Amino acid sequence: MIRRLVLMVLFTAVPLPGQDHVDQCLQCHQTLEDEPSTLFIRDIHRLRGITCAGCHGGDPRAEEMEDAMNKQTGFLGVPKGDEITGRCVKCHSDQERMKSYGSNGRTDQELLLRQSVHGRLSVSGKERLVQCTTCHNAHGIVSVKDKRSPVHPLNVTATCASCHGNPAYMRNYNPALPVDQLPKYRTSVHGRRNARGDTRVAECASCHGSHDIRSAHDVKSSVYPTNLPATCASCHSDSVRMKPYGIPTNQYESFAESVHGIALLEKHDPGAPACNDCHGNHGAAPPGVQSVSQVCGTCHALNADLFSRSPHKRAFDQRNLPECETCHGNHSIVAVTDRLIGSEPPAVCAQCHSPTEYPAGYTAAMSMRAIIDSLVTLEEQARALVEEAEQKGMEVSEQRFALRSVRQARLESRTTIHAFDKAKLQEVAAKGIAAARDIHVQAQEAIDEYYFRRIGLGVSTLIITLLVIGLYLYIKKIESNGQQR
């Protein structure tokens, strides 16, 4: 009895916001058993006290249809085209109004949507292609975190793919745009886990955004190469999110410090790889031991080619070792130095080769380092001599030009290392070594000539000076002879 009284008091004195009056629209439409009213029962708007009139106008207190749905008293009817978004944003872009319903959520959805690739698309140039209801529906809207929401992480892929997986539809807008994102995604670690109900993995919206989706070529896009590493890192550097999987969370940090990361993030080099160049966009998965060199080889083609014909190819395959990664690492690849080759650490060769372990590689590593070293030393000496000759004003432009071919041979040698074949390296380095020796000789000749000319000049200056002095004395003598007379 007392309980009932308390409940009655509660219900009359503390109405839920907006539920102080009955929604006659809903009541009548429920008797019609139409779809909108059926779906509206669970709608978040109804739970916030918003009635059918919140979007359609009219008087939700009127019991009669003619009064309730009277255009004179503000009934708006069924919105069409851009009017639809117009209805939603009357609240969703109005912070004060949203606050009056107890909501502190964002109010920038329309602003972002307008700037997005979707917001700019239009039907026949008049109305926008995508309205709020395209992704959220009109009736039965629930919290985006609710499993029934079309934008919940487990459903959003189907929502996006309803257009993006439809070739006939997409052809109207951009025939060149691939329509295979969802099937590819399903093959990735992300997609496989998502299909099993894991909401921590990336889905379409976690990489592309929701309202501010932009073309992949737009510099403001979350998947534009220079922005992408941060997009991936929003999860992969989040140790709390990643904890259940027990995988490292240092990929971004390592990448940012790597030769690739510096080239991409600091130098904005469009040729440098972002995460997706090695992991794929939609088929995002680790390249895997077998395919690593193919990934690296898309940019470093020569190295990959030499490697695949080298003795290491079979040796690494047999031991299930990744090809490039074994010596260079993956995320923390640094600029190389000649110290990486040789028989002693920090040379990578020393990890596996020693006088007792695979000794053929050990001696080869030692000689290969010696070849590289002699090329480098000869190049340095030749360059120093050319510079000295230039400072002395000698004409050595041809030698300066020839230095380029030495440099080229040095770069080529470093690539040729990947054949892991001393003879091949010798062949490439020999061209540089021979050129460096020639330059050395020619620059030395120029310098010698400089000294020769200087001595020549000194001697002739001396002779002229002596002559002048002699002449002077002679004139003096003639003058004094004249005075004596």
Out of 140, 283, 361, 432, the only residue in the binding site for ligand HEC (CB under 6 A) is: 361
Q: Are 310 and 368 in contact (CB under 8 A)?
A: no
Q: Which of 262, 421, 258, 424 is nearest to 336 (CA)?
A: 258
Angle (CA) 11-14-20 rounded to 5° is 80
Binders of ligand HEC among residues 125 to 164 (CB under 6 A) are 129-130, 132-136, 138-139, 141, 143-144, 151, 156-157, 159-164
Interface with ligand HEC, residue 341, by CB under 6 A: yes
Shortest distance (Å) from residue 42 CB to ligand HEC: 11
Q: Could you tell me which stretch among 210-218, 431-439, 445-453, 476-484 binds ligand HEC (CB under 6 A)?
A: 210-218
**Other CB atoms within 10 Å distance of the CB of residue 441:** 13
* Rounded CA separation 272/11 (Å): 65
Nearer to ligand HEC by C-beta: 4 or 33?
33
Residue 213 makes CB contacts below 8 A (sequence gap 6+) with 116, 117, 118, 221
Nearer to ligand HEC by C-beta: 17 or 458?
17
Q: Which of 430, 436, 445 is nearest to 380 (CA)?
A: 436
Out of 155, 257, 287, 444, the only residue in the binding site for ligand HEC (CB under 6 A) is: 287
Nearer to ligand HEC by C-beta: 337 or 484?
337
Out of 18, 128, 251, 396, the only residue in the binding site for ligand HEC (CB under 6 A) is: 251
Interface with ligand HEC, residue 410, by CB under 6 A: no
Residue 154 makes CB contacts below 8 A (sequence gap 6+) with 147, 194, 197, 199, 203
443-482 footprint of ligand HEC as x/- string (CB under 6 A): ----------------------------------------
Size of site (CB under 6 A) for ligand HEC: 178
Q: Could you tell me which stretch among 14-22, 90-98, 441-449, 454-462 binds ligand HEC (CB under 6 A)?
A: 90-98
* Rounded CA separation 152/303 (Å): 45
Q: Could you tell me which stretch among 356-364, 394-402, 424-432, 463-471 binds ligand HEC (CB under 6 A)?
A: 356-364
Q: Are 57 and 51 in contact (CB under 8 A)?
A: no
Q: Could you tell me which stretch among 297-305, 423-431, 444-452, 459-467 binds ligand HEC (CB under 6 A)?
A: 297-305
* Rounded CA separation 372/351 (Å): 20
Out of 353, 383, 424, 440, the only residue in the binding site for ligand HEC (CB under 6 A) is: 353
Interface with ligand HEC, residue 58, by CB under 6 A: yes
Q: Are 231 and 207 in contact (CB under 8 A)?
A: yes
* Rounded CA separation 164/167 (Å): 7
